[in-house]
Structure 1
Amino acid sequence: MRTRSDVSSWLTDMDGVLVHEEKALPGAQDLIETWKKDETPFLVLTNNSIYTPRDLAARLQDSGLDVPEDRIWTSALATATFLKEQAAGGTAYVIGEAGIITALHEAGFVLTDRDPDFVVVGETRNYSFEAITTAIRLIDEGARFIATNPDPTGPSSEGIIPATGAITALITKATRKEPYVVGKPNPMMFRSALNKIGAHSENTGMIGDRMDTDIVAGMEAGLYTVLVLSGISSKDSVREFPFQANEMLDGVSQLLKPEKGSSKKK
């Protein structure tokens, strides 16, 4: 049975793990600095496909976290990587913002509404009836339907707002076609992240605050899983799931301490 001492590379969720309400959580910056100092391969993962890694690095900096942009892996980057493997030099019609548009451009895709290979739906604050109608018609005509992530809602200062999953549900209802979703909880996102840092599942850990995305996907990808209770999950909610994380901690600050039952600090 693996323990934390077996882990030499890390993947970590962002919201609820490293930051909460745009403020760094206790121990988050110390953990990042420890990984950088020890040259531990790591990536910060997010299902958010609105922002580019450069944008997110700047936002994290404002929150008190110094994370290099090349240590950030988004569902937009995972989607672009997957589509490049499927149809290098292909075409796509995109509903989304800078994160997915930039990722697809850098992957060599041409963005078009004329007979595209794929219709890609990502996060945006500017969904339009016209764009959704175009997507429905293109999928009906044979374009393959892709979503960056399944999240039905997202947070805002005024409350929840509809997100990628809500829009893909609308398109599915009209076309009777389900999208292939690349982001968490699809282990595909973790596999592409592992390839990014040249790591193997056997010696990589995943830190997350959600059982239904971070932990289940990490488990299915063969990673060592750490659930932190600084975000969505609580000790009571964890009992609802038929699977468990390898470790459950109050927050990432506890990862700076030796694992229980071990004299070895990782």
Structure 2
Amino acid sequence: MSTEMKIDTWLTDMDGVLVREGDAIPGAAEFLARLIEKDRNFLVLTNNSIFTQRDLSARLAHSGLQVPENRIWTSAIATGQFLNDQAPNASAFVIGEAGLTTALHEVGYTLTNTAPDFVVLGETRTYSFEAITTAIRLIEKGARFIATNPDATGPSPEGSLPATGSVAALITKATGVTPYFIGKPNPMMFRSAMNQIEAHSESTAMIGDRMDTDVIAGIEAGLETFLVLTGSTAKSEIERFPYRPKHVVNSIADIVDRI
């Protein structure tokens, strides 16, 4: 694939690319402004299932970044869409926050702990032993197990926090059942996002800060991939992986002129 391919649509990760611990990364505001100025198709993608699109738009605005609600695509929304496609108007027991429960309500799902069709695990800051126990027992009784994303930890100013993948591993250990993960690195997350904005893989790029989620999912979805070095992956770590991003840049600021 030519390095000078015409890119009509831009997908970008949020944490580590546009913001870091609540602060805008230099160049992010200019990147977003250029997308709007050039009337480019774009979406901000995140595995974070805690917040709704409105919540995330407001949080980004607080950091000085203007991203309309309809330009944000979360693993919670992708999960709701997947479940609606697989089993419309079914039921689920949910461990998660407003981003996930809202997404499931909007596709017509009933949230219940009585014989649900699915157990759906998302990210939350208040995992409860009682809820995890309920999830285990429902899965043992036949509920199908879905998780919004496989991230084992999440960032915070104080250090790492246990995330969806860690709790999923606990439930899997107890039940012997592995969940189907919807978010990155599942390329389904990208395909659902591109379908939402009628984009085509041949002219779409993905910008991310993680080799094991953003880059590999972008490659598997057939996208042009950019790795920025402002987040989780250091330049020295790239060689560990058996695949490569198409481009490695210091930060989002280095991509502004590509738009």
Structures share fold, TM-score greater than 0.5: yes
Aligned to 2:94: 94
Is 2:68 the partner of 1:104?
no
Measured after TM superposition, the shift of residue 4 of structure 1 is 4.6
Alpha carbons 2:5, 2:203 under 8 Å: kept: no
Seen in structure 2, the aligned counterparts of structure 1 residues 25 and 218 have a Cα distance that, compared at 3 Å, is: same
Return the alpha-carbon distance in structure 2 between the equivalents of residues 138 and 43 of structure 1.
Answer: 35
Secondary structure in 2 matching 1:26:
coil
* Secondary structure of residue in 1 paired with 2:168: helix
| Contact kept in structure 2, 1:4 and 1:224, CA below 8 Å | no
Distance 1:93 1:132 in 2: 11
Amino acid corresponding to residue 150 of structure 1 in structure 2: P
2:186 corresponds in structure 1 to: 186
Q: Which runs of 5+ in 1 are unaligned?
A: 259-265
Q: Show the counterpart of 1:161.
A: 161
1:159 positional shift = 2.0
Structure 2: distance between partners of 1:155 and 1:25: 16
Cα 1:4–1:138 shift into 2, 3 Å = farther
**Is 2:246 aligned against 1:246?**
yes
* Cα distance between partner residues in 2 of 1:70 and 1:232: 26
1:55 positional shift: 0.4
Q: CA deviation at 1:158?
A: 2.5
How is 1:36-185 mapped onto 2 (pairs within 5 angstroms)? 36-185=36-185
Deviations 1:220-260 (A, max 9, x none): 011110011111112211111111111111111111225xx
Q: Distance in 1 between matches of 2:62 and 2:235?
A: 31
Quick one: which amino acid aligns to residue 70 of structure 1? N
Find the aligned partners of 1:196 and 1:245 in 2 and give their Cα distance: 24
Provide Cα deviations, 1:69-112, integer angstroms capped at 9, x if missing partner.
11000000010010000011111100000000000000110101
- 8 Å contact kept, 1:2–1:224: no
The answer to whether the 8 Å contact 1:120/1:146 transfers is: yes
The CA distance in 1 between the partners of 2:207 and 2:157, in whole Å, is 26
Tell me the SS of whatever aligns to 1:43: strand
Deviations 1:86-140 (A, max 9, x none): 0111111000000000000001101011111110000011111111111011111
Provide the C-alpha distance between the structure 2 equivalents of 1:4 and 1:23, rounded to a whole number of angstroms: 31
Instruction: Check whether the contact 1:57–1:66 (CA below 8 A) recurs between aligned residues.
Output: yes
% of aligned pairs identical?
Answer: 61
Tell me the amino acid that sits aligned with residue 25 of structure 1: I
Residue 217 (structure 1) aligns with: 217
Q: Distance in 2 between matches of 1:158 and 1:195?
A: 37
* Aligned-partner Cα distance in 1 for 2:156–2:207: 24
User: What is the SS of the residue equivalent to 2:94?
Assistant: strand
Q: Secondary structure at the match of 1:51?
A: coil
Output the CA distance in 2 between the equivalents of 1:158 and 1:246: 33
How many correspondences in the alignment?
259
Partner SS for 1:227: strand
How far did residue 153 of structure 1 move?
A: 1.3
User: What residue is the counterpart of 2:232 in the other structure?
Assistant: 232
Structure 1 residues 249-264: aligned runs within 5 Å: 249-258=249-258
Cα deviation for residue 2 of structure 1 reads 3.1
Matched residue of 1:124: which SS?
A: coil
Unpaired runs of 5+ residues, structure 2, are none
**Distance (Å, rounded) in 1 between the aligned partners of 2:20 and 2:158:** 16
| Structure 1 vs Structure 2 CA RMSD | 1.0
